[in-house]
Amino acid sequence: MSLRVEGLHKRFGAITALDGLDLEVHPGEFLALLGGSGSGKSTLLRLVAGFETPDAGRIRIGDRDMAGLPPPRRPCAMMFQSYALFPHMSVAENIGYGLRRAGLPERARVEELLALIGLAGYGARRPAQLSGGQQQRVALARALATRPPLLLLDEPLAALDAGLRAQTGAELRRLQRETGTSFVMVTHDQAEALGLADRIALLAGGRLEQIGPPREVYAQPATRFVAEFLGAANLLETADGVFALRPERLRLGATGRLAARVGQVAFRGDDWSVACVTAAGQLLRATLPGDAVPPEPDAAVMLDWDDGAMVRLRA
Amino acid sequence: MIRGMAGAWLALLVAAPLLVVLAIAFAIPDPGLPPFRLPLQAGRWVEGNESWAVLTQDGFYLAALLRSLALAGATAGLCLLLSYPMALGILSAAPERRVLLLALVVLPLCIGFVLRMAAWVGLLRDSGLINQALQALGVITEPWPMLYTPGGLLAGMVHSYLPFALLPLYAALAARDLRLEEAAADLGAGAFTVFRTITLPGSAAAGAAAFLLVFIPAAGEFVIPAILGAPDALLAGGAIWQEFFGARDWPLAAAASVALLAALLPPLVLWQRLERRR
């Protein structure tokens, strides 16, 4: 189901969390809300779920305006960062909670979900008896039990350790595809957003900086914030304006457009990070493949790039 | 160190007096001072203690004990029933106003106990404020008897003991995880269902503690019933008081004390069991 947010404002005392946000999520889409802390991304989820009331603006899910609707009457479900599993209920009772509230048959659906998340036979356990990864899957199953058309996920992978994160992320993506549910996932992890989402919405200061498919927002950052937040781009200030230049688009060689001196060279496993200082004193970072032969520190090099690599940024 | 001090404390201030009371309960009444003698003569046991026989066979004491437990149960239950909405109400206020509201709950404790009970007499008696107001409004023509009735007694008991239930419950509810209630609401639970399925089970241990903190002292209460209660409906505390200071039958009073204590132990043990299972 679609989600449309128009002119959303929310203040908490002196702090402006959302400053006129417009956003649209298409039916069946996986949208990542990416931003630093204080960007308003979690506030947006809480407003859509109905836990907070907007100061101004509209929220529509499908063709229904959400104004005045309390959380239990909204068609979306939320998965909390801390999972918020009910500690005094079994895993099966947790997953069946929404079904019981809706008066839907519980047993078969709970069994089905337990199998879906690979926890068949764990129904009688308490949440505290499960590992972090298992708890995460129970929280997901609980949120999906009544087949909500829109699922809000607040940092769903943040509490997992790095090894589990990639695998669980792929699992999320698979479930989203299979159920056709619209997912809105809040994250501060750019790799997570780039790897999982159909589109990425970048938020800063309670406003939308840019929205688009991962490759587009990465290759064509619209603002300085997007360029720096996604992939740490080099920023070149020229008389014509500010340009972003991705480190992996820079080539080091004997010929090129710009003369520079090599500074620090760091090996990072799958690539090299090479800091270059231009004659004008500007620092530009380049990444080279891990199997490349890096230049010696202090060597004089020429930097080169393709014509399309320089992206002009909005002021 | 701490354990040792706790042990010494328990031995000196709990176990020792209890043993003295237990010994008196098996003694023989005597008109002297103290008004009993131990049932030992030349190192041999002497019959003559009738306390336990009186206690079990005379329905008067059993009825007083049951009345006390019923009053304590009703008091603790009502305190708990009032404490939940009060605690949740205070917690829903802005943080800077909570302190003030809590202070208002505790404030009556700063006024002398006897004064508070005298105020209840002034409210409840036939020519009291409540009856005057109701008569002036034309709701009733004859005074409505409230003083020396079970209802009036219960009102005074609940008023006196409410903070002891409210404060532990407030502390537990203040520390609860609000995300759980949000998650329940998000899954389709209305406000009352959230309370019934999440808030109430989550605070059950604190609720049980609050209940017992009122129930145990209320079961032995004798001042409030003496001021507000019906004179013919004697309670355990009053019966013990009467035997000690009126009849000067210390062995019988001590035996009644031990019986009251025995009646209060099972709920305590049950609570401990439940706590350990969590």
Band (A315; pLDDT cuts 50, 70, 90): low
Q: Can you say how many angstroms the Cα of residue B219 is from the centroid of all Cα atoms in its chain?
A: 5
Its pTM stands at: 0.83
Which of B177, B179, B184 lies at the smallest CB-CB distance from A97?
B184
Which of B177, B179, B188 lies at the smallest CB-CB distance from A101?
B188
In a domain, B15, yes or no: no
From A84's Cα to the closest Cα of chain B, the distance in A is: 5
Band (A143; pLDDT cuts 50, 70, 90): very high
Task: Write down the pLDDT at residue B278.
Answer: 60
The answer to whether B182 contacts chain A (CB < 8 Å) is: yes
- A230 or A140, greater pLDDT: A140
Average pLDDT, integer, range B23-50: 82
From B183's Cα to the closest Cα of chain A, the distance in A is: 7
Would you give the end-to-end CA distance of chain B in angstroms?
28
Band (B143; pLDDT cuts 50, 70, 90): confident
- Mean of the per-residue pLDDT values of chain A: 91
> Of B178, B179, B182, B187, which to mutate for an interface test with A (greatest number of A Cβ within 10 Å)?
B187
In a domain, B113, yes or no: no
Asked if B187 and A142 come within 8 Å (Cβ–Cβ), the reply is yes
In a domain, B45, yes or no: no
**Is residue A137 within 8 Å of residue A172, measured between CB atoms?**
no
Query: Does the pLDDT of residue A105 top 90, yes or no?
Result: yes
pLDDT in tens, A268-280: 888 899 998 888 8
Domain ranges, residue B154: 20-38+51-99+150-277
CA gap A213, A193 in Å, rounded: 10
Asked if B185 and A71 come within 8 Å (Cβ–Cβ), the reply is yes
**Closest-CA residue in chain B for A79?**
B183
At a CB cut-off of 8 Å and minimum separation 6, what does B205 contact? B172, B274, B275, B278
Task: Write down the pLDDT at residue A298.
Answer: 86
Task: Write down the pLDDT at residue A45.
Answer: 95
Judge residue A156's burial from the number of C-beta atoms within 10 Å of its C-beta, 0-12 exposed, 13-18 middle, 19 or more buried.
Answer: buried
**Chain A residues closer than 8 Å to B172 by CB:** none
CA gap A27, A3 in Å, rounded: 8
In a domain, B156, yes or no: yes
pLDDT in tens, B94-117: 999 999 999 998 888 888 888 888
pLDDT in tens, A175-206: 899 889 999 999 988 889 999 999 999 999 99
Band (B2; pLDDT cuts 50, 70, 90): confident
Cis peptide before B34 (omega within 30 of 0): yes
In a domain, B211, yes or no: yes
Band (B60; pLDDT cuts 50, 70, 90): confident
CATH of the domain at B30: 1.10.3720.10
Phi, psi of A77 (to 5 degrees): -125, 155
**CA dihedral over A117, A122, A124, A128, signed as positive or negative:** negative
Asked if B187 and A98 come within 8 Å (Cβ–Cβ), the reply is yes
pLDDT in tens, B247-259: 888 899 999 999 9
Q: Provide the residue type at B100 as one letter.
A: L
The answer to whether B201 contacts chain A (CB < 8 Å) is: yes
At a CB cut-off of 8 Å and minimum separation 6, what does A65 contact? A58, A59
In a domain, B264, yes or no: yes
In a domain, B3, yes or no: no
B196 DSSP 8-state letter: I
Quick one: which of A1, A46, A38, A4 has its CA closest to A21? A4
> Of A97, A129, A155, which to mutate for an interface test with B (greatest number of B Cβ within 10 Å)?
A97
Which of B179, B184, B188 lies at the smallest CB-CB distance from A82?
B179
CA gap B204, B210 in Å, rounded: 10
The answer to whether B205 contacts chain A (CB < 8 Å) is: no
Band (B90; pLDDT cuts 50, 70, 90): very high
Concatenated DSSP letters for chain A? --EEEEEEEEEETTEEEEEEEEEEE-TT-EEEEE--TTSSHHHHHHHHHTSS--SEEEEEETTEE-TT--GGGSSEEEE-TT----TTS-HHHHHHHHHHHHT---HHHHHHHHHHTT-TT-TTS-GGGS-HHHHHHHHHHHHHTT--SEEEEESTTTTS-HHHHHHHHHHHHHHHHHHT-EEEEEES-HHHHHHH-SEEEEEETTEEEEEE-HHHHHHS--SHHHHHHTT--EEEEETTEEEEE-GGG-EEESS-SEEEEEEEEEE-SSEEEEEEEETT--EEEEEEETTS-PPPTT-EEEEE--GGG-EEPP-
CA gap A152, A222 in Å, rounded: 26
Most confident of B24-33, B78-87, B226-235: B78-87
The answer to whether A7 contacts chain B (CB < 8 Å) is: no
**Chain B residues closer than 8 Å to A50 by CB:** 185-186
Return the ∠ at Cα B257 (arms to B3 and B218), rounded to 5°: 80
- B26 or A109, greater pLDDT: A109
Q: Which helix (H) or strand (E) holds B77?
A: helix B59-92
Whole-complex ipTM:
0.85
Judge residue B13's burial from the number of C-beta atoms within 10 Å of its C-beta, 0-12 exposed, 13-18 middle, 19 or more buried.
Answer: exposed
In a domain, B69, yes or no: yes
From B187's Cα to the closest Cα of chain A, the distance in A is: 5
Determine which of A19-28, A85-94, B127-136 has the lowest per-residue pLDDT on average: B127-136
Count how many domains chain B has: 1
Task: Write down the pLDDT at residue A104.
Answer: 95
Asked if A84 and B202 come within 8 Å (Cβ–Cβ), the reply is no
CA gap B197, B180 in Å, rounded: 10
CA gap B275, B235 in Å, rounded: 31
pLDDT > 70: percent of chain A:
100
Asked if B182 and A51 come within 8 Å (Cβ–Cβ), the reply is yes
Which of A78, A86, A142 lies at the smallest CB-CB distance from B198?
A86
Query: Does the pLDDT of residue B47 top 90, yes or no?
Result: no
The answer to whether B179 contacts chain A (CB < 8 Å) is: yes
